[in-house]
Chain A
Amino acid sequence: MTTSRRDFIRNTGLLVVSLRAMSLAEADPLAAAQAGPSTSLGAGPYPDPDFRQLDSWIVIRENNTATFYVGKTDLGQGTGTAFRQLMADELDMAYENTSCVMGHTDQTVDQGGSGGSDALQTDGWPMRRVAAEARRVLLDMGSQRLGVPVDQLAVSAGVITSRAEPSRRVTYGELIGGRRFNVTLTGDQIDATTGVAKVKPVQELKLAGQSFPRYDIPGKVDGSAKWAVDARVPGMVHARNVKPPFAGAKLVSIDEASVRNIPGFIKVVSRGNYIAVVCEREEHAIQAARQLKVNWQRPATAPFPSSENLYRYMRTATPTFSPPPTVAGNVDTAITGAAKVVEAEYEVPFQGHVSIGPAHAMADPSNDQLTIYSNDMKSYGLRNGVAQFLKIPRDRVRVVWLEGPQAYGRTAADDAGFEAAFIAKEIGRPVRVQWMRQEETAWDTKGPAYTFRMRGGVDGQGNLAAFDYEARAVDHNHLGYNEFDTVLIAQLAGMRKQEPARGGAATPSDMYVIPNRRMATHVVSLPLVWETPLRTGNLRDPNGPQVTFASESFIDELAAAAKADPVEFRLRMLTASTGDDNGFKRARSIAVVKAAAEKYGWDTRPSPKPIGNGNILVGRGIAYAYRNQTIVAQIAEVEVNRRTGHVWVKRLVVAHDCGLVINPQALTRTVEGASLHSLSRALHEEVTFDTEKVTSVDWTSYPSLRHTDTPQTIDVVLVNGDPNPKRPDLPHYGAGETACKPLLAAVGNAIFDATGVRLRRVPFRDARVLAALKAARV
């Protein structure tokens, strides 16, 4: 029997079963997915839920509770809670009487999972519209039931009443509980999904703007949450990968006899240069992966330069891709005529996602189907990619998304999902794969390394007349998400895309008005393009931290050259107007920069301040960024230890405008986490490598932010800086990645303010800072 959840609802004879199964799905998605043929859930096949059916999005039960099925995943920023708030608001249900199921490819419509900080900005809209449509349909039904016209009805918390006679009432549960809406929606693609009803104006939203506690936190705190690492089914075995010991290595031979003595050893699975060992028990799989004797052949030429020589290599390499520069005015003329000219070069190393829990997935090939339990943020892409990779029909594959360690972007979670699926098919048993720490830190995709060359010219009035920007990024063959021909197992198995993705280097995303500006970008490639641990993929605002570090540090250099206050210098370039869209974005930028300065108590003066005499030098720096309608300004106050070079960001102020705020508390936490993620990148993170392998492979060789680095105070100021009286209700934009952008520059600018020394390469580790201070005789 292959009945789906909604077929149950259609068949009233199975109603009891279906409702029990549904509540199971909400309480414990793992158990629900594993329920198997006995309850007819989980047996497959797994066709796509139809986004044009209202029943695919919302189920209302007889007890007047609602469950929302959305095609997103929540990486811990509380988007699930926000979805419930928005949909309950449109539906007029009490928040407490709703629940949310996310990211199960056979149960929830394909909204792509997570990415791009667009959960509310993009995907929130179809959610609102379908909830509004459900409310409309229910009001029509209520009108018929009560014999009262719709415009004379009121509705609150899922109860419809006659305005004239409030004792006449009917609940949503009474009207539709356990039955299908059977309402067809329209829209050429899922983001455009809509019914007939219109969403509410902002003024009528009641739940948006309230700080509901995140529903996922109690289970994460008491140990009851089901994580992808916990996925178990009967008969499941354990696998571990054996990675090439140096990049570009070719597998010559495997000595399987070297591991046959390990208890519960099952098999060595191999294809091309991909190897995994499978054992009954996890610790034995780990032992076998370490013990397996493999004969590898080194490549004829070095796969990459060492990290010490990376920037020299990047500057001299012939670019693989150089799009035409963006040009306004005439930079060269303006610089020639400038009163002051500043030139500088900046550098950012490869940095990793480096999840706290290495990549993992469990795949179950039972019943001639394939179920993958994964925390991959794009569960739908994983499902499609695996089907292509293994050449099996899509509807025989499903991904059950479960909570997991998050690392914000294209992580090795993609790769592990494919590996689990491949091994499960090879051995015909459910199998769990997990990467080891050294494997994760070495082989997870990296945020691209950058070099920058910039020139700027300040005119006689101290205004920025010209900005010439040139960036180079190591980003050739940038990996997409869950691509069947670029995931690591595909690469190791010898698959190649005809053309590697050309990648890209980014340009600053500020809203400054600079009359003469040129922005040029180049992509360069390392010698080894495939099967390399230095593979690049999106990392939490894929280019923003690198680019904004360079551009906002350089803007600070120009302000110093103009002997202008860094806040004032920036505000001069943000000319507000409400007449055009860019002017409006600048008006919002001004509000955000001012909000940060005000909260900090910024004193107007040029940087640096006079250098103090003590061991601890204190300074403050600001940086700002715009990203896809969201605006952030960050002010860091640092203490620099002149004797050790140690930098502590003692205080952090973040002003943040992402339009309409759905959950201020969850947003604040998200902004704090994103800001500190970039603080880690500013102070600690750097991928190191020799000419054949990555050498930063654990938490000692790849240090991360720690408790001891935490600022004493973080102030997050939520701004909804709409200055236009005709446009008072900004929609909900995105949050998360924007706050990752400016922080590196804010810290560098603060170090300059404190010491007069400009650091043009991250991370600002003690030794590097100390060397720079000594060189400048500070």
Chain B
Amino acid sequence: MANFTLNVNGRRQVVDVDPATPLLYVLRNDLELHGPRFGCGLGQCGACTVLIRGEAVRSCTRAVSSVQGAEITTLEGLSTDGRLHPIQQAWIDEQVPQCGFCQNGQMLTAKALLDKNPSPSDAEIRQGMAGALCRCMTYYRIQAAVKRAAKVMSTAGGADSPAPGDGEKEVLA
């Protein structure tokens, strides 16, 4: 065991763990940040995604010793001053989740994608999100939410998001 200083969601945190401990368990069990979740432990599904220096990273395969001092953001750190990030608001407006377990990884992958490419094409969204799995298969709505968030973030600094229910496809025959 050894002390490691982490910078998570803008706060400095010291933890005493084995150097090889995957960041995921430190976040969940020591810092009680439950946004990132265990999905595979193999870096394959994305449920454990966090942002490290703005990059979407699989925290289940990243040793805590390798991220000392790096700026780490979890789902809990996505909103600011209690105000939802436009990506989160788009997720609500599109009513994206089914069970919702993977959506942490979906939203943070989208955040990293949109930070790099503020107005991605449909193909770029599909490709950029491809590593984030959802077993409720909410992909169609996730992609719609990414587009919605991109639109909001590129206008007026992300001030107002479209009202819920916009762009509905339901038809009552």
Contact = CB atoms under 8 A, between A and B. Distances in A.
Interface of A: 75-77, 211, 213-214, 216-218, 220-223, 225, 227, 229-230, 232, 263, 281-283, 286, 354-358, 403-407, 434, 436-437, 595, 599, 655, 661, 664-666, 668-670, 672-673, 676-677, 679-680, 698-700, 704-712, 714-721
B104 interface: yes
A670 B137 CA distance: 10
Interface string B98-109: 111111100100
B7 to A, nearest CB: 18
B55 to A, nearest CB: 18
Contacts of B32: 232
A404 B84 contact: no
A329 B172 CA distance: 40
A356 B102 contact: yes
A16 B98 CA distance: 36
A214 B29 contact: no
B99 A403 contact: yes
A690 B18 CA distance: 37
Contacts of B22: 283
Nearest to B33: A223
Contact of A704 (B78, B79, B135, B143): B135
Interface in B99-141: 99-104, 107, 122, 125-127, 129-130, 132-141
B84 A718 contact: no
B34 A710 contact: no
B165 A665 contact: yes
Interface size class of B (residues with CB under 8 A): 35 or more
Nearest to B102: A356
19 contacts: A218-B92, A221-B100, A221-B107, A222-B75, A263-B18, A356-B45, A406-B99, A406-B101, A437-B39, A661-B172, A669-B141, A672-B140, A673-B136, A706-B133, A707-B127, A709-B139, A714-B169, A718-B172, A721-B173
Contact of A230 (B34, B76, B122): B34
Given A434-B38, A698-B44, A356 B141 contact: no
Interface in B11-54: 17-18, 21-22, 25, 28-29, 32-35, 37-42, 44-45, 47
Contacts of B81: none
A223 B21 contact: no
A211 B133 CA distance: 27
A357 B133 contact: no
A686 to B, nearest CB: 16
Contacts of B102: 356, 405
B142 interface: yes
B37 A217 contact: no
A710 B133 contact: no
Contact of A221 (B18, B41, B97): B97
Contacts of A680: 137
Contacts of B168: 211, 665
Nearest to B93: A213
A357 B96 CA distance: 18
A220 to B, nearest CB: 4
A214 B95 CA distance: 7
Contacts of B104: 223
Of A76, A434, A680, A719, the most chain B CB neighbours within 10 A belong to A76
Contacts of B130: 706-708
Contacts of B17: 281, 283
Given A222-B88, A354-B135, A672-B141, A717 B171 contact: yes
A720 B172 CA distance: 8
A719 B170 CA distance: 10
B34 to A, nearest CB: 5
B131 to A, nearest CB: 8
A220 B32 CA distance: 16
Contacts of A666: 95
Nearest to A670: B98
